[in-house]
Amino acid sequence: MIYADNAATTMMSSVALDAMINCIKNTWGNPSSLYEFGQKAAEVLAESRQIIAKCINATADEIYFTSGGSESDNQAIISAAKIGARKGKKHIISTAFEHHAVLYTLKKLEHEGFEIELLDVHENGIILPEQIKNAIRDETCLVTIMFANNEIGTIQPIEEIGKICRERKIIFHTDAVQAAGHLPIDVDAQNIDMLSMSAHKFHGAKGVGALYVRKGIKLESLIEGGAQEKGKRAGTENVPAICAMATALNDSCKNLETNSRKLLNLRGKLIEGLKKIPRSILNGDENRRLPNNVNFCFEGIEGESLLLLLDDKGICASSGSACTSGSLDPSHVLLAIGRPHEIAHGSLRLSLDENISESDVDYIIKSVAEVVEYLRGMSPLWKDKISGKKEFVLK
Ligand SMILES: *Cc1c(COP(=O)(O)O)cnc(C)c1O
């Protein structure tokens, strides 16, 4: 099997798995208990917080543990909205191609009287700092822009956007779930006030994540109960998963350059290979994208059929995001960058990791080309296009 769906989830790294099992076996006490066995778990928690903070140039007291990216996004956005509302500021800026954890939280806030402004995204999948500058008003309380897009991998000008927000004293949150462990992050240099991450996107376990909150910003709790996480997130901490998350992030950051170099090479090869398929188009800027992300549309193809046939060939890939598979709507991200419905339906996302080899990439290219040709051969619509009865959309 070739696993090329690392944007959906990743395999746990052996160091993270070892850390998790070790903790489950040996440090399973409750970190809130006063006896030494409990305090051992509290130490693991404190160390993990320290490690994660260091990876993004934050301090340990700015890191809150959550159940993952979705919870971190919800908590960050709701907290910033509450802070704004207390000052009578209820305007929030975001983009049309955010993850649903962000978009649906914003939708909820809209029903509560907030004004949500979703910026259009240019065809290359990158927001311009100018767009943020122009959208900011006196009532703006939050700008939330993802670090890197989960479908097309495009990297946003986070530092510049952060700078604009800083100058206007507006909270800047970034969903960095696809970036953490994959791109260098420095919350200070990049002017980030709040940042979401999720362990299972960087070879940690599922169901655990972190939220960075700059000192001085009041976090709102979504879950009431115990005093864990300074009273901002009740519930006994998942110490083994947190410990594995810290180990995984540290490992990813340590190997970031080596892995990126390898992935950039594979990504280039994959893009070149898939471009050769007639009437195909790469989604998102060719260079300003995650080193592991390739996303194409193929005219006349239905994404789901493509995935099923690739599965038969032992390739795990995705069409759009895991959240939209199972629904017939085309990806909101591809629509946001202006792909017509007909084209957006035929999308393929391949997200690699460092375990993939060059021969795997060759096999993927060959398989995709075969499957696309096969599906087009069966399509009445494609026959109409070939015969000139209908027009082609892509060159
Ligand atoms: C996966 C993902 C999320 C959700 O993270 P979970 O830990 O699965 O809740 C949020 N945002 C982005 C960009 C993602 O890729």
Which of 62-66, 329-333, 389-393 comes out lowest in average pLDDT? 329-333
Please state, in angstroms and rounded to a whole number, the distance separating the CA atoms of residues 128 and 132: 7
How far does the chain reach from its first CA to its final CA, in angstroms? Answer: 33
Segment 1-16, tens digit of pLDDT: 999 999 999 999 999 9
For residue 388, being part of any structural domain is answered with no
Task: Assess whether the C-beta atom of 150 lies below 6 angstroms from ligand 1.
Answer: yes
Q: Which of 218, 237, 254 delimits the end of a domain? A: 254
- Statement to judge: residues 203 and 121 lie in one domain: yes
User: DSSP 3-state assignment of 215?
Assistant: coil
- Statement to judge: residues 228 and 99 lie in one domain: yes
CA of 3 relative to ligand 1 center, distance in Å: 18
- Statement to judge: residues 226 and 265 lie in one domain: no
- Give the count of domains, the chain: 2
Segment 163-213, tens digit of pLDDT: 999 999 999 999 999 999 999 999 999 999 999 999 999 999 999 999 999
Catalytic residue, chosen from 141, 243, 316, 323, is 323
Q: What is the DSSP string of 230-274?
A: GGTS-S---HHHHHHHHHHHHHHHHTHHHHHHHHHHHHHHHHHHH
Chain centroid to CA 17: 22
Query: Quick one: tokens of 100?
Result: 């649903």
**Which atom number of ligand 1 is nearest to the Cα of residue 69?**
5
Nearest CA to ligand 1 atom 5: 69
Domain region containing 305: 2-7+256-380
- Statement to judge: residues 178 and 327 lie in one domain: no
CA of 198 relative to ligand 1 center, distance in Å: 6
Spatial CA neighbour of 15 closest among 192, 204, 143, 165 = 204
Can you give the CATH number for the domain in which 282 is found? Answer: 3.90.1150.10
CA of 58 relative to ligand 1 center, distance in Å: 21
For residue 337, being part of any structural domain is answered with yes
E strand or H helix at 198, and its extent? strand 194-198
Q: Which of 200, 220, 254 delimits the end of a domain? A: 254
For residue 285, being part of any structural domain is answered with yes
Q: How confident is the model at residue 320 (pLDDT cuts 50, 70, 90)?
A: low
Pocket test for ligand 1, best of 106, 178, 182, 238 (most atoms within 8 A of CB): 178
| 323 given a catalytic annotation | yes
What does the chain come to in residues? Answer: 395
pTM of structure: 0.97
Please state, in angstroms and rounded to a whole number, the distance separating the CA atoms of residues 296 and 369: 12
Q: Which of 228, 254, 280 delimits the end of a domain? A: 254
Cβ partners under 8 Å of residue 323, min gap 6: 99, 100
CA of 152 relative to ligand 1 center, distance in Å: 14
For residue 95, being part of any structural domain is answered with yes
CA-CA-CA-CA torsion sign (257, 258, 259, 265): positive
Nearest CA to ligand 1 atom 14: 177
